[in-house]
């Protein structure tokens, strides 16, 4: 009788534990798209600089089509909805695991000679543990928070992105200026490296 009661309790717990997947809802375009006031090539540079800044890894890229596929870091519930878990203890949001993956797909499209549209789509996947059930992989739904943050970083980086300085073929490289030394300050530089005014 006792074994029957335990078995019934376990079956009840299993039946009570279930997973409700997230409701698919695309984040608004205002969070996933921005127009950068730079030509395509400089916008590409700004985007790749932001990727390096975040220590993301480029998995695939096609500059001719303006495509970058980037592997990010662990994401949180603020970034994506992974569904809900119902158990005897109640209903709670499913937390992404430590080995969850975040992939960001950048799409760059020229708008004019001086502006480029940048779109970001995030894909979030995580193994999910439902009590008394085996692990299952879940595709979480983005809330648009990470995409919006990345676009803000791209716009900020665009403000400091400049075309490379042009130098005619065969022209000498610019001569570095002599080191300056404040009057009366000690120096470890050799006399030959100092301006004449400081050694006379």
Question: pLDDT band at 192, cuts 50/70/90?
Answer: low
Examine the pLDDT at 55 and tell me if it is beyond 60. Answer: yes
pLDDT at 11: 38
pLDDT at 13: 39
SS3 content of the chain, % helix, strand, coil (to 5): 25, 30, 40
**CA within 13 Å, CB half, 102:** 27
Q: What is the mean pLDDT of residues 44-55?
A: 98
Mean pLDDT across the chain, nearest whole number? 82
pLDDT at 21: 86
Tell me which of 86 and 173 has the higher pLDDT: 86
pLDDT at 7: 37
pLDDT at 35: 99
CA 194/CA 200 separation, integer angstroms: 10
CA 3/CA 31 separation, integer angstroms: 55
Local structure of 50: helix, strand or coil: helix
Topology of domain 33-158, CATH: TATA-Binding Protein (3.30.310)
The pLDDT tens digits for 1-43 are 444 443 333 334 344 479 888 888 889 999 999 999 999 999 9
Q: How far apart are the first and last CA of the chain?
A: 106
Local structure of 137: helix, strand or coil: strand
Paired sense of beta strands 80-81 and 33-36, if any: unpaired
Question: pLDDT band at 188, cuts 50/70/90?
Answer: very low
| DSSP letters spanning 97-136 | PTT-EEEEEEEEEEEETTEEEEEEEEEEEEEE--TTS--E
Q: Hey, which residues does 86 pair with through a beta bridge? A: 18, 91
Query: Structure pTM?
Result: 0.72
The pLDDT tens digits for 96-154 are 998 999 999 999 999 999 999 999 999 999 998 776 667 788 999 999 999 999 999 99
What is the residue extent of each domain of the chain?
A: 33-158
């Amino acid at each position: 009788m006792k074994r029957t009661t335990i078995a019934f309790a376990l079956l009840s717990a299993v039946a009570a534990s279930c997973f409700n997947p997230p409701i698919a809802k695309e984040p608004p375009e205002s969070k996933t798209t921005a127009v950068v006031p730079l030509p395509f090539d400089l916008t590409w540079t700004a985007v790749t600089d932001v990727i390096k800044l975040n220590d993301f890894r480029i998995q695939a890229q096609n500059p001719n089509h303006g495509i970058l596929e980037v592997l990010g870091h662990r994401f949180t519930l603020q970034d994506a909805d992974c569904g809900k878990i119902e158990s005897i203890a109640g209903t709670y949001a499913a937390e992404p695991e430590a080995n969850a993956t975040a992939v960001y797909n950048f799409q760059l499209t020229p708008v004019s000679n001086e502006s480029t549209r940048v779109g970001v789509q995030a894909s979030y996947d995580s193994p999910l543990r439902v009590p008394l059930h085996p692990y299952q992989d879940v595709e979480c739904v983005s809330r648009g928070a990470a995409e919006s943050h990345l676009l803000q970083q791209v716009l900020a980086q665009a403000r400091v992105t400049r075309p490379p300085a042009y130098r005619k073929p065969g022209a000498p490289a610019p001569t570095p200026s002599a080191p300056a030394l404040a009057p009366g300050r000690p120096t470890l530089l050799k006399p030959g490296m100092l301006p004449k005014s400081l050694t006379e």
